[in-house]
Amino acid sequence: MEPEELTFQEIKEITDGFAQELGRGSFGVVYKGLTKTGKDVAVKLLLNHINIDYKQFHNEFNSLAMLQHPNIVQLLGYCYETKRKPMKYNGRQLIVEETHRVLCLEYLHNGSLRKYLSDVAEDFIIGRTDEKKKIIDSLIEAMTEKIIILPIYGIGGIGKTTFARLIYNDANFRFYSQVWVHVSPIFDLKKIGDSIISQLPEKQRQTKKNLIVLDDLWEDNPFLLEDLKVMLNLGDSINTIVLVTTCSEHVAEKICTNIKPYKIKHLTNDMCWEIIKQRSAFETRDDKKYLTSIGKDIALKCGGVALAAQSVGFMLRSMKSSQWMEVKNNNIWKESISDDASLQNQVLASLKLTYSYMDSCLKPCFTYCAMFPKGQKIHKDDLIQQWISLGFIKPTEIHSIMELCEKYVVQLLGLSFLQHSMSAPTYEGAYREKQDTLFTMHDLVHDLAVLLLGDEIMDQRQQGNTLSSSCRYALVTDSSKPLELCLSSCARLTALRFIDCRRTELCGSAFAPANFLRVLDLRECHIQKLPESIGQLQQLSYLKAPEIQDQLIPDCITQLSKLNYLYISGSEISALPESIGEMAGHVHLDISFCSEIEQLPLSFRNLENLVHLDLSHCSLITGVSESLGSLRRLQHLDLRWCTSIGEELPGALGSLTELQYLNLSHCSYLDVPDAEVLGNLNKLKYLNLSSAASPLRRLPESLGSFTELEYLNLSGCRQLEELPASFGKLCSLTKATRELQILSGSHEQAHRTTLFKFIKFGVFLWKPVNEDPTVLEISSLENVKSVEEAKTVKLLEKRMIYDLKFEWTRDAKRFVEDIEVLTELVPPCNVQSFFLQGYNSLTFPSWMMGITSYLPQLSYVSLKELPWCSALPPLDEESGGHLQTQSDKAVDQHLREKIQRLTKLVIQHVIRDAKPSRMSMRCTEAEGRHLVKRKKAPYDAGHITVESSATNPWEMQPAVAIARLPECEHAYNLVGEPGGVRTW
């Protein structure tokens, strides 16, 4: 077995941060470690001061790798990683390189190996900046029209989708309702319309501005295209921008309105070289000088197509210099890859070349993706489970099956063989988004997978009624006919999927002859009754059969000893087979929305290998508590809306210490005052305890040990009295609930209520239990989904608030314009300290423009990061609504004009009668000297400061007006040293 390449982060996790040292020698230190598969390993970390270059390290690695003997410690893995990091030296900021050289050997223990992250960095986008600006300017100019349809066309792989994504994500459209639809090669107007509606919630359908992307349109029928245009016209009062990507200039000409179709240009050779350098981590290589000319020659072969450069670049990342030369001289560049003249040869050549260098274990994982129709979203978990069921993934000494799956997904994403879907993110935060990760395949990548499989795959949509010879994978369009009508032999068939078969009833002969099936996907079938012939498929490992209409599923299904994935969500079955416990190897079970099931069989507790269990929306189900204690390997448990499951949290739930996902939302288990039973579940990443009216008063005291918790939902927990003292230790928490309670506690005075500050969570709309809070901070206001949501805060009713802060995250995408949110957040009149940060609208609501009238007790004001602000609120009534200066008229007018470009104003420590005693501001050197040219008696009440991050504070951008100090008739001398804060 070949040694595996590991990242330094993985090494750190294997050794638990190099926690246990075994010994050290002149060249390095050896630590104990343990992989997730339970394999004991020894990790040798070579010392940094030892002058071992890559060549010497590679020699040692090769020598160890060649030693294969039962009495010799085997090399299992290695790491050679160079990273750059900032460092201060003699007051100067330097960038230094740090190289980690590690060997992973047999026979040690202690530590953990966490999975590869499924997310990859955003695509490197080269050479489209000018094109993007040109397009956006033309769209904005044409916005007088109620609908604009702009087609973007060009050859496959050139970057049309990526370019559309650049426009889609641009800040100019941040307040638009946005929709992204992939148009199937088989044009279906209803599906397109349904997709648009599903991405526009009811409250957003009348939004004045919409941005819709129709990706990969092929249809050229003029009548159908006219119907599409009519459907996209959402109303006379609504402005709609539609971006359409297509390979056909003919289609582009037919679909456009009000604006000329845009042909996306080929990248230059230099641009392709830049992409290759980025994808291959070229700048970190020691041999980059030698490789530059070779790399440029490879870039030339990419033909100006981004997809070609991306896939080749990532492939080159792990290659030696000699392999770069092999790639450059490879004959694939000269071959005619496909008989289809419309396909760009450079793209397919680069993709085929990349495939040829793939690890042998990754190749079948990639080609199997051809089983997902073009343009269809691929659920990551679905793909992985099918890989496992087909036996593509074999555990190694270092990595478990799931870790290898994650690793392969990362590699396919890096090669651009898979791409993240542009679907709108789910609401339930970062962790939930990872669970629902969706991928798509570029059409040309899909073509390559089909091309490579050849006769190994049969797609009845393409081949019609032609009788296919023996194949391994099949997509069939009629589930009511015997399988032999489209396959001459089923002996090699291992994966079968039915497409668009909801109009015909599933019959047993549609799959029964395929005795060696491992994957059977019936999600697009009408299943009146699951046929008894399912019991013949003794090799079956994966079965997806949702929405079964019959009340029972065949008992013979429990005899499928190799079945480890069963999905029957939404079925009308009233019971599971009593013998279900015989499926001892079962790993993944989803019976969600099976609302007729009343009781789990007693044998259910025998499913001890279950890792994933979804019973959500099984509103009548009972018998769960009795089985939980045996399911010790569960990592995912979803009991949402299980309203008959029991009236208290069972103690057995606390024994499921491997749980990472637990959803008890609106579950009857929450009818308890405390959740202490959950205290042992410290591996949780997702925890949902939301309810309409939960009596929950206390959370586990050990909650602070849930260091991996990323999502917490306590919506509706109105009786919650306090958070555990350790709550602040939840360093991974990225999003807490949309709606939380004020927690009773102690402040400076015992009778007041404390508001705990949650800096990095989502938006917090706090509601009082008994008393009003004295301090209220509402951060991440960009997460407010609607004006109605902002209204629920009812700040005017919270009479005890003295300190109030509103904050939007800088550059974050908004769902509602800031001024609409702030309009609803009118504070009570007794507020003394007011903070506003990250506000993006041009103007303020009326209560802000009359802030001294609304808040007569105001003594402290802070306004920060107002990048679009065109007019500031008055700070005293006498100013007549304007900020004023004490300078002469010329400079006064000069400064007043600069209010229009205000970027930051901080007013601090204002005395009770609203007369500022300290103000931070920005100004130019000339303006500052004008203010201090008349030295008079010092003003004891306060002073003004100039703050700047620039080395020379006078080199800052002029962007501030000077506020009037009502009692101040004097200017001040400039003191202090250059580079610091200057006081007048």
What digits encode the pLDDT tens for the residues 818-877? Answer: 999 999 898 888 788 888 988 988 888 988 888 877 787 777 888 888 888 777 777 543
Highest mean pLDDT among 116-120, 331-335, 517-521: 517-521
pLDDT reported for residue 936: 30
Alpha-carbon distance of 482 to 512, in angstroms, equals 9
Highest mean pLDDT among 80-89, 583-592, 761-770: 583-592
**Cα dihedral value 327, 331, 334, 335, nearest 10:** -120
User: Could you tell me which residues come within 8 angstroms of residue 343 by beta carbon, excluding any fewer than 6 positions away?
Assistant: 156, 337, 444, 447
CA distances from 40 to 65, 109, 397, 405, 526 (A): 18, 4, 9, 22, 50
Structure-token pair, residue 38: 């339970």
pLDDT reported for residue 749: 26
**Cα dihedral value 927, 929, 930, 935, nearest 10:** 150
**pLDDT above 70 covers what percent of the chain?**
74
44 is in an annotated binding site: yes
pLDDT classification of 209: cutoffs 50, 70, 90: confident
Residue 528 has pLDDT above 80, yes or no: yes
Any long-range contacts for 253-257 (C-beta under 8 Å, 24+ apart)?
A: 253/151, 254/220, 254/222, 254/225, 255/149, 255/151, 255/217, 255/225, 255/228, 255/229, 256/149, 256/150, 256/151, 257/145, 257/147, 257/148, 257/149, 257/229
pLDDT tens-digit readout, 334-382: 876 555 544 456 788 889 999 999 999 999 999 999 999 988 889 999 9
Task: Give all strands of the β-sheet with 438-440 in edge-to-edge order.
Answer: 378-379, 438-440, 419-420
pLDDT tens-digit readout, 404-455: 999 899 999 989 999 888 654 433 433 443 456 889 999 889 999 999 999 8
In the chain, what are the domains?
4-115 (3.30.200.20), 122-263 (3.40.50.300), 358-424+436-455 (1.10.10.10), 460-573 (3.80.10.10), 762-888 (no CATH)
**Residues 213/240, Cβ–Cβ less than 8 Å:** no
Residue 205 has pLDDT above 60, yes or no: no
Find the mean pLDDT for residues 290-311: 92
Helix axes 306-316, 345-356, angle to 10 degrees: 20
pLDDT higher at 956 or 585: 585
Alpha-carbon distance of 77 to 395, in angstroms, equals 14
Structure-token pair, residue 205: 């359908």
Alpha-carbon distance of 843 to 872, in angstroms, equals 8
Structure-token pair, residue 98: 């740090």
Residue 935 has pLDDT above 80, yes or no: no
pLDDT reported for residue 7: 85
Q: Work out the burial of residue 39: count CB atoms within 10 Å of its CB; fewer than 13 is exposed, 13-18 middle, 19 or more buried.
A: buried
User: Could you tell me which residues come within 8 angstroms of residue 825 by beta carbon, excluding any fewer than 6 positions away?
Assistant: 778, 790, 793, 795, 806
**Residues 41/105, Cβ–Cβ less than 8 Å:** yes
pLDDT higher at 20 or 455: 455
Residue 219 has pLDDT above 50, yes or no: yes
> Could you say which DSSP state residue 705 is in?
G
pLDDT higher at 929 or 277: 277
Instruction: Give the distance from CA 318 to its chain's centroid.
Output: 26
Alpha-carbon distance of 827 to 795, in angstroms, equals 5
